[in-house]
Structure 1
Amino acid sequence: MTHDILIGIDFGTGGCKITITDCQGEVLDSLSGEYPSSHPHPGWSEQHPADWWRVMCETLARLQQRPVWQNARVAAVAMDSYTHGAVLLDEQLQVIRPTIIWTDQRSAAESRELKEKTGDMIFATGYQMPTPTWTLPQMLWLKRHEPENMQRLRHISFVKDYIRFLLCGELATDRIECQGTLFYDMKQHRWSDELCELGGFSSAMLPPIAGITDIAGKVTAEAAKATGLPIGTPVVMGTSDSAVEDYAAGAIEPGQCILKLATAGNVNVMTAEAHPHPATLTYAHVIPGMWYTVTATNAAAICQRWFRELVCAEEKLEAETTGVNVYEIIDRKAKTSPPGSNGVFFHPYLSGERSPYWDPKLRGSFTGMSMGTTRGDLARALLEGVAYSLKDCHRTITEMQLPVKEYILIGGGAKSSIWSRIICDLFQAPCTVPASCDASFGSALLAGVGVGVFPDEETAIRRCLKIARQLEPDRSQAAFYEQQFALYRRLHDALAPVYAVM
């Protein structure tokens, strides 16, 4: 008997994840695939759009061999992706160059110049201050260093929007994605000619803006051949990964706070209105009328991937021979080290840093090592260091006096019992861990809203949200972690001037 399924496709910084749900929001299956980033120079980060499409097609092909696909009718597809990823297209809609992604730090000089010359205007219009994360300074860098590519430029798309264009042949973006460019007028709800002019191009090159749950088009015959998705499948617009993750975790009321342990780390506080601040990011929420304030660290769970590749050959071999996830094995090593990692500290500035320092020159470090330091100490120090970085981000939320009534822990790192325990004890607050809260799950629900399976966004998540576990803090660790966090900050303060001149 045929049954309807909803598909959510997430394009994260490290890879593509696809989740399939039924029309009651029950997760039926999910699968991921990794794609590479290239780093042609120190501080540069780029991705090839062809890799996003390739990995999505490969992942869909693998899913189509599994039981969930048998006798299934795809009711709708929706996608999300990381923001700040401009795809530059020529007159024939061909990709001009690899996409500069949000971790790239090459436009530090352009960011400083924009801030000094027009920072007040940029902030008043776009609600954000220029930093290398944003597309505006990246485009200014391209104008100066790759004028030949800028001369070929005719259309600008973004990560998920480009893939959706390949699926259904229409260029468009949504109302939250456009806020992640620094080309959008937050008050007038339109592209800003003034901001685009600063980036060296015309706003006519940017796509039309649609609603998050609007149907953007249908899968074409050519795309159906490549993906295995049925011809004519409705493709719903979707939105940015951060917004849809918050939504998928049930953060739909003011005062709920997301602590995210994914490629990057986020502290996102839901608000009833916009609270633009020079040290934060400000985005509209999936729920119409709501907003959220973001403080973010550039590198969180990606630090574990880096550590896995650089240090953990033994653990990788064990994972290959036993079938146990390599991160579970690394976590076991981390559990052999006590709180405080026997004096070892890790600062996760592998891609510079955003909140609260906004310093692209910061670099990652292990400090406090001795002849007695073990790989377990390093593994635990990494987990603690990312947690301290999130706590550092949270200082801005406290300074802004934004009320927080509930903490929700999400991202791949939330699956780790030791990592979530460290977060809970450091923040000294109860933490909720949803069962299915990644962006691809949220996108599947938005696909359902788009085709009428659910009446609206809020009904969909209230009906489908499930809680995996709830953590209570160990109060006996409060003073210890307060002291550790103070040491973490002192180490930052001592090392930052050194990195500034390196």
Structure 2
Amino acid sequence: MNELLLGIDIGTSGCKMTAIDRQGAIVDTALAEFHTSRPHPGWSEQDPDEWYAVACQLLRSMWERGRCQPEQIAAIGLDASTHNAVLADGDFRPLRPAIMWTDQRSVQQAARLESQAGAEIFRIGYQKPTPTWTLPQLVWIAEHEPEPLRRTKHVLFTKDYVRHQLTGTWETDHIDAQGSLLYDMAGRRWSEELCQLAGLPPSVLPPLVEPTAVVGSVTQEAAEQTGLRAGTPVVAGCSDSAVEDYAAGAIRPGQMIVKLATAGNVNVMTAKAHPHPRTLTYAHVIPGLWYTVSATNTAASAERWFRDVFCQQEVAQADGAGRSVYEQLHEAARQIPPGSEGLFFHPYLLGERSPYWDANLRGSFVGATMRHGKPHFVRALLEGVAYSLRDCYRTIVDMQLPVDEIRLIGGGAKSDLWTQIISDVFARPVVRPAGSDASFGAALLAGVGVGLFADTVAAAQQCVRIRDVVQPDPAAVNVYAELFPLYGRIHDALAPAYAELARILLESN
């Protein structure tokens, strides 16, 4: 009997799949990383065909393990990081690599859009133009690579490109569309005015559907490539941020999600839209619910960067012992007192979104002395990301949006140390859901789409479980309360220098 649901998450750094039963129990998972190309400072690109190739690889690995089989899959749901547009020709072949949301090349284009049409863009799209959004990226392409834009017949967003490979269909959901800055938020349609700013006719943008809509089924060709059963229903899905909130059980106003993944988010559920220049505004997968986003560009990816650049010896040791290198690093960092003995880390490795909206900011360790060893730097990194998320939360407080519960999600939430630091920096209890990642939420949407659940609320209530609740440590709370303002003052002192550095680098290129 087809009783399992499959969620496919095409994240910024990799692909994760989760198969669950209709009670929400996880049957199997699979994970693999993507390669990100950075040919110039500030650039981030990925090959869309690698997304599908990795998905095929992971599906084959799941069948080989034998915990689930293709004939058991009742439906498939997808999600992905938003903002990333694939420009494709008439045969849906990519015309260039996908510019990722972490790419900063369109700083000047975003600034020009803000100065020339910022009020109109915000009125229609509820967001301010920054290099994160598809609109400034398209303007950059129009100015520097006009040929691919001229040849574009179809625009697909990340999950939609992978789903097209599975089904041959072409559409996107309303939430992913909101991440393009080409969408009319009030009218729930593509905006002709914003498309005109991008130099794109609306006809090349995909038809709009709801996240739980069944939009096609696995083709015979895709079945041969993936091992999936031909004819398996596939639902539209939505953005990773929206489906992560949903998978964590954030289904009512007042709940707040703190996300420790590639990027970091502070998302507050609200009963209506609250557009604000310092935040992002999105619809929830539950009809009528919204969420306000205050986001940092770099969270768990900062630790991955630190691992790759500075921890080759620890990686080799962990591999030899059959354990996670992060577990090994955190074990040592746990011995360092809160505050890392005066060492600060600012995680602006990709510029910054909330609350500064400054693409020129750079990452930094500040306050290093001869006393500090690698465990200090690891703990300072974890604390720096927590401070950055607390910075995001300040915006939520300033907007007077009510928050009665914090739930922590993302890969970083697996770490007991990082979770405790988050609780201490925020000075609030932190709830950790079980199995609360994007692929889990995408699987739930698949179940709603084919009628295994009555609706999105019923699916979450039936399947989302709580792992634990972490309480803040009063002594650590006092330390971080004293250090957090200093973290902000260090940012204020360094920001002008980073602006000057950005000018020098731009002129040298």
TM beyond 0.5: yes
Query: Match for residue 12 of structure 2?
Result: 13
Q: How is 1:208-357 mapped onto 2 (pairs within 5 angstroms)?
A: 208-357=207-356
Paired residues of 2:71 and 2:229 also in contact (CA < 8 A): no
Unpaired segments ≥5 residues, structure 1: none
Q: Tell me the alpha carbon deviations over residues 375-404 of structure 1, each in whole angstroms, 9 at most, x when there is no partner.
A: 000000000000000000111101100010
* Correspondence 1:389 to 2:384: no
Distance 1:162 1:3 in 2: 26
1:34 and 2:33 matched? yes
Question: Does the residue aligned with 2:87 lie in a helix, a strand or coil?
Answer: strand
Deviations 1:100-126 (A, max 9, x none): 011101001011111011000000000
Structure-1 separation of matches of 2:98 and 2:332: 37
Paired residues of 1:4 and 1:72 also in contact (CA < 8 A): no
Alignment match, 2:86: 87
Matches of 2:66 and 2:3, distance apart in 1: 14
Give the structure 2 partner of residue 54 of structure 1: 53
Q: 2 CA distance for matches of 1:468 and 1:311? A: 32
Give 1:4 deviation, angstroms: 2.1
How far the C-alpha of 1:71 sits from its partner, in A, is 8.2
Q: Judge conservation of contact 1:87–1:158 (CA < 8 Å) in 2.
A: yes
Cross-structure match for 1:184: 183
Report deviation, 1:137: 0.4
Structure 1 residue 67 displacement after superposition = 2.7
Kindly tell me: are residues 200 and 73 of structure 1, through their superposed partners in 2, closer, same or farther at Cα, counting changes over 3 Å?
same
Q: How many residues align?
A: 501
Amino acid at match of 1:403: P
Unaligned residue ranges in structure 2 (runs of 5+): 502-509
Per-residue Cα deviation, 1:292-326 (whole angstroms, up to 9, x for no partner): 00000000000111011011112101111110011
**For residues 1-47 of structure 1, what are the alpha-carbon distances to aligned partners after superposition, in whole Å with 9 as ceiling and x for unaligned?**
x5521100001100000000012211111110101111111111111
Distance 2:69 2:360 in 1: 51
* Distance apart, 1:141 and its partner CA: 0.5
Q: 1:367 corresponds to which residue?
A: 366
**Secondary structure of 2:445 counterpart:** helix
* Residue 479 of structure 1: how far off its partner (Å): 2.5
Is residue 2:29 matched to residue 1:25?
no
Give per-residue Cα distances to partners, 1:233-252, cap 9 Å, x unaligned: 00011000000000000001
Distance in 2 between the 1:22 and 1:305 partners?
32
In structure 2, C-alpha distance between the alignment counterparts of 1:36 and 1:323, rounded to whole Å: 24
Q: Sequence identity of aligned pairs in percent?
A: 56
Q: Which secondary structure does the structure 1 equivalent of 2:236 belong to? A: strand
1:433 aligns with 2:412: no
Per-residue Cα deviation, 1:418-472 (whole angstroms, up to 9, x for no partner)? 0000000111111100011000000111111111110100000001111111011
Tell me which residue corresponds to 2:148.
149
- Judge conservation of contact 1:3–1:71 (CA < 8 Å) in 2: no
Name the structure 1 match of 2:376.
Answer: 377
1:255-313 alpha-carbon deviations (Å, 9 max, x no partner): 10001100000000000000000110000001000000000000000011101101111
8 Å Cα contact 2:175/2:238 also seen in 1: yes
Q: 1:72 to 1:225 in 2, by over 3 A?
A: closer
Q: What CA distance in whole angstroms lies between the structure 1 residues aligned with 2:260 and 2:99? A: 23
CA distance in structure 2 between the partners assigned to 1:275 and 1:70 by the alignment: 44
TM alignment of 1:381-460, pairs within 5 A: 381-460=380-459
AA matched with 1:157: L
* SS of residue in 2 equivalent to 1:216: strand
Partner secondary structure for residue 292 of structure 1: strand
User: 8 Å contact 1:5–1:72 — kept in the other structure?
Assistant: no
Instruction: Provide the residue aligned with 1:480 in structure 2.
Output: 479
**C-alpha contact (below 8 Å) 1:428/1:473 kept by paired residues:** yes
Q: Distance in 2 between matches of 1:108 and 1:71?
A: 45
